[in-house]
Amino acid sequence: MTSNWLILMAVALESGGIAGLFSPLAPDMQLTAYLTAHAMACACLSLVILPLLPGRYRGQPLMAGLFLFSVQFAIPFLGSLGVLVGILLALYLPRSQREIPWQEIDIPELPFRPLDLNQQVIYSQGGLRQVLREAGDADKRLQALMATRQMPDRDAVDILREALKDPADDVRLLAYSMLEQKEKTLTQRASLVQQALEQGSDKETLSLRRRLAQVWWEMAYLGLAQGGLRTYYLNNAATALTDIIRQRPHHGDWRLLGRVELARDNLEAAEQAFQQAQANGSPPEVILPYLAELAFLRRDFDRVRECLAACPRDRLHPANRPLLEAWL
């Protein structure tokens, strides 16, 4: 009801202002009277139009009302008519096709029968290998490959390499793609470290060379490099670690050098590196399992038990506990 009175008042003011332009008054008074009446009409219509605006504009009534008043005042009569018609058209003639940013779906019902556990992928190394070898459905084997993303990289690479022999093209292509992605990630990391090494200062050189040696070792350790390429990475890692140790000995570098030499089948050099790592502060529960592995490769089983028996039980890595239970 109030809006109707405001509209009638705005029409009366606008009409009176226009009529004042044709009155016998002086031109200055005619213009002043018209502008005053026109401003009051614009204010009345702004109060009418403001509640019709969308909610995001009504949140700032002062700015929205000032904008409506400015448009109407700048264009006498036509401005008010255009603003009113434009808002009414938007309200009563919406778009026939509206883009819905979501999709409505029915609420899923609870399962009415137990799930078949045989249809579920077992997320363990042995379970995934069994799926790849025995599952007749290629989709199950693809799911097994996707599940390797939740596994440690070394175990995942072994399974992916085994999947390269799968008879299905999709399985082989996915395994090759995942292996290539892992190798590409490490290669890019090594390239970035080498670029930083060329531009780095003397203080940064040691840490960058250590990082580069770790990347080379990871390429060989994960099984991403085979044959001559694996030998190349191991040799580079051993050379870099030897130079680092010569400049600043650290038990972590000695331990990594021991693992590299062990992978190169240099048992004497590996044993010396592990002993130096332990002498420079490496925890015994970390070094003694490697010394036990060296003794096993030499078929010195008494030495294996001796090394494992010396491992502190309270600080032992969980992966080595079954080893102690088997030997002791």
Whether 18 and 64 share a structural domain: yes
Query: Does some domain include residue 328?
Result: no
Whether 15 and 67 share a structural domain: yes
Whether 68 and 21 share a structural domain: yes
- The whole domain housing 69 covers 2-92
Query: Does some domain include residue 17?
Result: yes
What integer is the mean pLDDT of 43-47?
A: 75
Q: What is the pLDDT of residue 201?
A: 65
What's this model's pTM, rounded to 2 decimal places? Answer: 0.56
Query: Does some domain include residue 130?
Result: yes
Asked if the model's pLDDT at residue 310 lies above 80, the reply is: yes
Whether 129 and 70 share a structural domain: no
Q: What is the pLDDT of residue 143?
A: 81
For residue 115, name the pLDDT band (cuts at 50, 70, 90): very low
DSSP 8-state secondary structure symbol assigned to residue 223: T
- Distance set, CA 111 to CA 104, 114, 120 (Å): 21, 7, 16
Whether 126 and 175 share a structural domain: yes
Q: What is the pLDDT of residue 11?
A: 67
Which of the listed residues 192, 226, 258 is the one where a domain comes to its end?
192
For Cα atoms 217, 221, 226, give the angle at the middle one, nearest 5 degrees: 100
Most confidently modeled range among 38-52, 155-169, 263-277: 263-277
CA distance 16 to 18: 5
Q: What share of the chain in percent tops pLDDT 90?
A: 0
Whether 70 and 129 share a structural domain: no
What integer is the mean pLDDT of 150-168?
A: 80
Asked if the model's pLDDT at residue 17 lies above 70, the reply is: no
Asked if the model's pLDDT at residue 1 lies above 50, the reply is: yes
Which of the listed residues 138, 157, 192 is the one where a domain comes to its end?
192
Query: Does some domain include residue 158?
Result: yes
For the chain, the domain total comes to: 2
Whether 85 and 150 share a structural domain: no
Which of the listed residues 141, 159, 192 is the one where a domain comes to its end?
192
Whether 83 and 125 share a structural domain: no
Instruction: Assign residue 299 a region (left: φ > 0; alpha: ψ between -120 and 50; beta: otherwise).
Output: left
Please name the residue that has the structure tokens 């080379």. 216
SS3 177: helix
For residue 154, the Cα-to-chain-centroid distance in whole angstroms is: 22
Query: Does some domain include residue 313?
Result: no
Q: What is the pLDDT of residue 54?
A: 66
Asked if the model's pLDDT at residue 98 lies above 70, the reply is: no
Asked if the model's pLDDT at residue 240 lies above 70, the reply is: yes
Q: What is the pLDDT of residue 120?
A: 47
Whether 19 and 74 share a structural domain: yes
Q: To the nearest 10°, the Cα dihedral for 26, 27, 29, 32? A: 170
What integer is the mean pLDDT of 23-34?
A: 71
Please name the residue that has the structure tokens 């140790």. 245
- Yes or no: say if 251 and 277 are a contact pair by the CB < 8 Å rule: yes
For residue 117, name the pLDDT band (cuts at 50, 70, 90): very low
Asked if the model's pLDDT at residue 29 lies above 60, the reply is: yes
Query: Does some domain include residue 184?
Result: yes
Whether 62 and 125 share a structural domain: no
What integer is the mean pLDDT of 277-302?
A: 87
Query: Does some domain include residue 139?
Result: yes
Please give the structure tokens belonging to residue 76. Answer: 């006498």
Query: Does some domain include residue 56?
Result: yes
Whether 73 and 141 share a structural domain: no
Q: What share of the chain in percent tops pLDDT 70?
A: 75
DSSP 8-state secondary structure symbol assigned to residue 111: P
Whether 9 and 87 share a structural domain: yes
